[in-house]
Amino acid sequence: MLYNNEDTIAAIATPPGDGGIGIVRVSGPEASFVVDKIFQADKKKPLKSHQMYHGWLKDPAQNRLLDKANLCFMKAPRSYTGEDILEIFCHGGRAVLERVLEAVLSCKVRLAEKGEFSKRAFLNGKLDLTQAEAVLDLVKAETKKSAGFALMQLEGKLSQKVNKIRNELIGLISEIEVAIDFEEEVKGINVLKVKDKIDNEIKIIDEMLKTSEAGKIFRNGLATVIIGKPNVGKSSLMNALLDEERVIVTSMPGTTRDAIEEVVNINGMPLKIIDTAGIREPKDEAERVGVERAKKEAGAAEFFLVVIDSSNKVDDLDRQVLREVEGKKAVVVLNKKDLGNYNGEDGYASVANGHPAFPISAKYKDGIRELKDCIYTYVEGQASSGKEGQALVNMRHKECLMKAREALYKASMSCSEGLSPDFIAIDLKDAVVALGEVTGEIVSDEIINTVFEQFCVGK
Ligand code: GDP
């Protein structure tokens, strides 16, 4: 998609569904012209920036009233995109919002593409690339903890860290280049010292790379499947895990959540539980597609909750299920503890095969809190995850950081091997470029497009 800041763009910025308020957002040079065309303020006064106005929205073509609304105009560059922005707060129904949008689009305005508002914010220097990505993470965050990590990135914590390494490398390159250019006057470079500095940067990058696993979990949720033979209490466990959140969060119509998955909040860590109950003999084509998808998603699961009915003897079917998770991340749930523990907790240790095992009663919701703690500690330990105060890298950052690391490693080797400083400088420059890709300082259109295509229209 070509960027043309002559264009004025608009989109509905709130999610579909019957909201009390819905927002239509407009960005570009025609934004104030739109106000003139479609808005009749209660009190006629000149349009000022960053002030709220109340009045009627009307369709300019037919001069028909559309809705009563509030409206705010934000003059460039003091706006999200850095351009003139108009936000119209009208009633949230689909039909109202669509009519308002149509009226806006009749004023030399075109429909925004996916993520185009945030893309403009990036291209106008309002956000760097990691911050734009943080906007998406924040909007998509399923738990407060995930939102906290996104906020940290939006604040610029990740970019600051990357920029610090980058600036230090740029300093090092200029030191080396001065030494090369003025070989006669300058005593040359202290290769050992240069190598030390490079190795230190590699260490910092390694620390950042370690957060990528946690980054994946807190951004996308940990893909989880509850397995166990029939009637051990899988559905009951799912309900018990979901129970607490249902009280606060009711699922909203129009949200994009897939029917085959539910997100469970494990002390702030989102577990995306794929509903394997949906995996049965399909009755029709629609069901077949659903079952295929559920199977595929279950196959890609990264974490397993293995449910065993602990009031009964562990049998071959249980063992077969446990064999499926050998060498994988799993917690064994010893359910129905209210009925008495057939094997005694110790008896399950050998069956659990090294996985943590935890007794609960899903039916009476006994031990659910503790099970959540157990899952959290286990997953966190496996992912060396989510330390407070540290921004988490995503897959794109990881790729760039790995490229930078590779270049730095080469530079470090060149130091050890006593190669010419030119070689060292070339590799350091490669590392600088790779780091610049993280923040978007140096970045191709292709990368920009890939990042913003993940957004939806209106962001
Ligand atoms: P699934 O087939 O594995 O999904 O098992 P369900 O969750 O449907 O449970 C099967 C039966 O076990 C139901 O009658 C549940 O009420 C019962 N059940 C589930 N968990 C417990 C529990 O902790 N204690 C007792 N006593 N019964 C349970």
φ, ψ for residue 319 (rounded to 5)? -60, -35
Whole-angstrom Cα distance, residue 92 to residue 233? Answer: 41
Give rounded-to-5 percent helix, strand, coil for the chain: 50, 20, 35
What are the E-state strand segments in 62-107? Answer: 64-74, 85-92
CA 359 to centroid of ligand 1, rounded, Å: 14
Instruction: Give Cβ neighbours of residue 228 (< 8 Å, ≥ 6 apart).
Output: 234, 306, 307, 308, 309, 318, 321, 333
Q: pLDDT at position 299, please?
A: 76
Q: How far is the CA of 336 from the centre of ligand 1 (A)?
A: 7
Preceding peptide of 77 cis, ω within 30° = yes
Helix, strand, or coil (residue 224) = strand
Ligand 1, atom 19, residue with closest C-alpha: 233
pLDDT computed for residue 1 by the predictor: 40
pLDDT exceeds cutoff 50 at 115: yes
Query: Whole-model pTM above 0.85?
Result: no
Closest atom of ligand 1 to 339 CA is 26
Compute the distance between CA of residue 100 and CA of residue 367 in angstroms, rounded to an integer: 51
pLDDT category at 169 given cuts 50, 70, 90 is very high
Measured torsion, CA atoms of residues 195, 196, 199, 201, in degrees rounded to the nearest 10: -110
Residue closest by Cα to atom 24 of ligand 1:
336
| CA 244 to ligand 1 center in whole angstroms | 19
Predicted confidence (pLDDT) per residue in 197-230, tens digit: 999 999 999 999 999 988 999 998 899 999 888 8
Percent of the chain at pLDDT > 90 equals 53
For residues 15 and 173, which has the higher predicted lDDT (pLDDT)? Answer: 173
Pocket test for ligand 1, best of 231, 273, 317, 361 (most atoms within 8 A of CB): 231
* Structure tokens that stand for 163 in this block: 């920029």
The label of the residue with tokens 């079917």 reads 317
Instruction: Round to the nearest angstrom and report the end-to-end CA distance of the chain.
Output: 16
User: Residue with the nearest Cα to atom 14 of ligand 1?
Assistant: 231
Pick the atom of ligand 1 nearest to 366's CA: 23
DSSP string, 157-219: HHHHHHHHHHHHHHHHHHHHHHHHHTTTTS----HHHHHHHHHHHHHHHHHHHTTHHHHHHHH
Kindly report the protein residue whose alpha carbon is nearest to atom 7 of ligand 1. 233
Ligand 1 centroid to Cα of residue 319, in Å, is 19
With contact defined as beta carbons under 8 Å apart, do 241 and 264 qualify? yes
Cβ–Cβ contacts within 10 Å for residue 440, how many? 21
In this prediction, residue 147 carries a pLDDT of 92
Ligand 1 centroid distance, CA of 230 (Å):
9
Q: Which atom of ligand 1 is nearest to the CA of 230?
A: 2
- What's the full length of the chain, in residues? 459
CA of 302 to the centre of ligand 1 (A): 25
Q: Phi-psi category of 268—alpha, beta or left, where left has phi over 0 and alpha has psi -120 to 50?
A: left
Residue 109: enclosing H or E segment and its boundaries?
none
- Euclidean distance between CA atoms 318 and 212, whole angstroms: 34
Q: Would the pLDDT of 267 be above 80?
A: yes
The pLDDT, as a whole number, for residue 281 is: 65
* Closest ligand 1 atom to Cα of 277: 4
- Share of residues in the chain with pLDDT > 70 (%): 87
What does the block give as tokens for 208?
A: 């950042």
Q: How confident is the model at residue 34 (pLDDT cuts 50, 70, 90)?
A: very high
Contact between 197 and 168 under an 8 Å Cβ cutoff? The reply is: yes
The single residue listed with the structure tokens 């409206």 is 71
Q: List residues bridging with 59 in a β-sheet.
A: 64
Mean pLDDT for 399-416 is: 96
Q: What is the pLDDT of residues 335-372, one digit of tens each?
A: 999 998 767 666 676 777 789 999 999 999 999 999 99
> How many Å separate Cα 297 from the centre of its chain?
19
Q: What is the mean pLDDT of the chain?
A: 86
CA of 235 to the centre of ligand 1 (A): 7
Find the mean pLDDT for residues 255-279: 72
Eight-state DSSP code of residue 9: E
Task: Looking at 223-301, list the stretches that DSSP marks H as alpha helix, in order from N- to C-terminal side.
Answer: 234-248, 285-299
Q: Which residues contact 327 (CB under 8 A, 6 or more apart)?
A: none
Pocket of ligand 1 (CB under 6 A): 228, 230-236, 335-336, 338-339, 361-363
Over range 170-178, report the average pLDDT: 91
CA distance 368 to 381: 20
CA of 201 to the centre of ligand 1 (A): 54
Question: Within 10 A of 184 (CB to CB), how many other CB atoms are there?
Answer: 5
Residue whose Cα lies nearest atom 2 of ligand 1: it is 231
For 268-321, the pLDDT digits (tens) are: 899 988 866 555 666 777 667 766 766 677 678 899 999 999 998 888 888 888
Contact 269, 376 (CB under 8 A): yes
**Which tops the pLDDT comparison, 350 or 54?**
54
